């Protein structure tokens, strides 16, 4: 899971966010082996993040948001791959749609940046994805695969295997519009297929594919459920440490829901009557709250209090036992 902060947070705010994120994740015993956690702060924050991560031996990785296409020299305002490697960056985002759109970066530039990143020993997160017009015309797969071909040109098969490719439909970035899990799966499967055809089955198996575009804790589970989606590139929601931690811990969310449902069923006895409990069923409760409200009698309120006590009690027991 990678959090792209874009042009937000100064170096002091960056330290605060990474600390909060690390605390939240360690508090919840996050399994870093299962889900890698990466933040992508602005350039000027990287040294502070490096100091914090090294000093506190945090398992959070960090990425730059861009890199120069040039090696070194008279390129005012640019930052080289060697400089980012020296700051301990694990990753570099290249070809983000905001760079492609606002700075005219084409696939050739993105490809050069990816090659520079790899040469400096870091991993590029190569961003691809279609705009609204292309999506409406139904050419999103073809368009995205063209970007994949152009951005990955000349990269060694072993290096392609280690890459991260982020599919970010431009119409879903920062708009609140989220592609459906099926949309994400359709394009990610096509990208994996293209890597298989052009580079080989091993590279297709190990390349990591992220989905990006309005990912939140409320929609991440469905997206991560897709067989060809390996992670997410998160923008706005990564600026809130609790929210980003919840996204990183998406694997725990279904378990929590299951636990709550089990508690409801246990309370009700012999596993029946969930709909009675909510006075006429979950769906009527969602569709027309007045029906649910009418049926929300004292028993339900008492049951709710009991479930809450059970959850808190269980949490305390688990904490005491660990």
Q: Which residues bind ligand PGA (CB under 6 A)?
A: 4, 168, 173-174, 212-215, 233-237
Task: Determine the Cα–Cα distance for residues 110 and 237; give it in Å rounded to an integer.
Answer: 25
Active-site pick, 98, 105, 130, 168: 168
Query: What's the min distance (Å) between Cβ of 215 and ligand PGA?
Result: 5
Using the minimum distance from each CB to ligand PGA, give the nearer residue, 61 or 264: 61
168 as an active site residue: the answer is yes
Query: Quick one: which H or E segment has residue 39?
Result: strand 38-40
Q: Which residues contact 292 (CB under 8 A, 6 or more apart)?
A: 278, 279, 280, 284, 285
Query: What's the min distance (Å) between Cβ of 117 and ligand PGA?
Result: 17
Using the minimum distance from each CB to ligand PGA, give the nearer residue, 124 or 292: 124
Query: What's the min distance (Å) between Cβ of 151 and ligand PGA?
Result: 16
96 as an active site residue: the answer is yes
Using the minimum distance from each CB to ligand PGA, give the nearer residue, 110 or 233: 233
Of all residues in this chain, which one has the CB nearest to ligand PGA in the complex?
235
**117 to each of 64, 92, 124, 274, 283, how far by Cα in Å?**
10, 7, 6, 54, 51
Q: Which residues contact 16 (CB under 8 A, 6 or more apart)?
A: none
Active-site pick, 30, 36, 96, 143: 96
Using the minimum distance from each CB to ligand PGA, give the nearer residue, 65 or 161: 65
Q: Quick one: DSSP state of residue 126?
A: E
Using the minimum distance from each CB to ligand PGA, give the nearer residue, 105 or 168: 168
What does 66-101 look like in DSSP terms, one character per residue?
---SSSSSS-TT---HHHHHHTT-SEEEES-HHHHH
Query: What's the min distance (Å) between Cβ of 248 and ligand PGA?
Result: 14
Alpha helices in the chain (DSSP H): 11-27, 46-55, 81-86, 97-102, 107-119, 132-136, 140-152, 157-162, 181-198, 201-206, 220-224, 241-248, 253-268, 274-277, 282-287, 289-295, 298-321
Query: What's the min distance (Å) between Cβ of 166 and ligand PGA?
Result: 7
**Catalytic residues, which ones?**
96, 168
């Amino acid at each position: 899971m990678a959090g792209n902060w874009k042009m937000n947070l100064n170096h002091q705010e960056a330290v605060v966010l990474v600390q909060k994120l690390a605390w939240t994740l360690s508090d919840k015993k996050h399994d870093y082996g299962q889900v890698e956690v990466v933040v992508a702060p602005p350039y000027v924050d990287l040294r502070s993040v490096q100091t914090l991560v090294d000093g506190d031996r945090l398992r959070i990785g960090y990425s730059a948001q861009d890199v120069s296409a040039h090696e070194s020299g008279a390129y005012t305002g640019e930052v080289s791959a060697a400089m980012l490697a020296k700051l301990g960056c694990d990753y570099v985002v290249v070809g983000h749609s905001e760079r492609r759109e606002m700075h005219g970066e084409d696939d050739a530039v993105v490809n050069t940046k990816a090659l520079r990143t790899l040469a400096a020993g870091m991993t590029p997160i190569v961003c691809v994805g279609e705009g609204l017009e292309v999506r409406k015309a139904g050419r999103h797969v073809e368009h995205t695969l063209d970007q994949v071909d152009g951005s990955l040109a000349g990269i060694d098969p072993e290096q392609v295997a280690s890459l991260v490719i982020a599919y970010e439909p431009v119409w879903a970035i920062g708009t609140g519009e989220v592609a459906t899990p099926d949309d994400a799966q359709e394009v990610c499967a096509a990208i994996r297929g293209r890597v298989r055809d052009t580079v080989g089955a091993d590279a297709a198996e190990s390349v990591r594919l992220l989905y990006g575009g309005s990912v939140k804790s409320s929609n991440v589970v469905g997206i991560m459920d897709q067989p060809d989606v390996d992670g997410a590139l998160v923008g706005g929601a990564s600026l809130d440490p609790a929210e980003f931690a919840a996204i990183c811990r998406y694997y725990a969310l279904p378990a929590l829901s299951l636990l709550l449902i089990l508690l409801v069923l246990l309370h009700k006895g012999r596993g029946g009557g969930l709909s009675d409990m909510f006075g006429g069923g979950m769906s009527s409760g969602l569709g027309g709250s007045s029906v649910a409200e009418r049926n929300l009698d004292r028993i339900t309120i008492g049951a709710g209090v009991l479930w809450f006590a059970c959850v808190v009690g269980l949490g305390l027991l688990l904490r005491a036992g660990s």
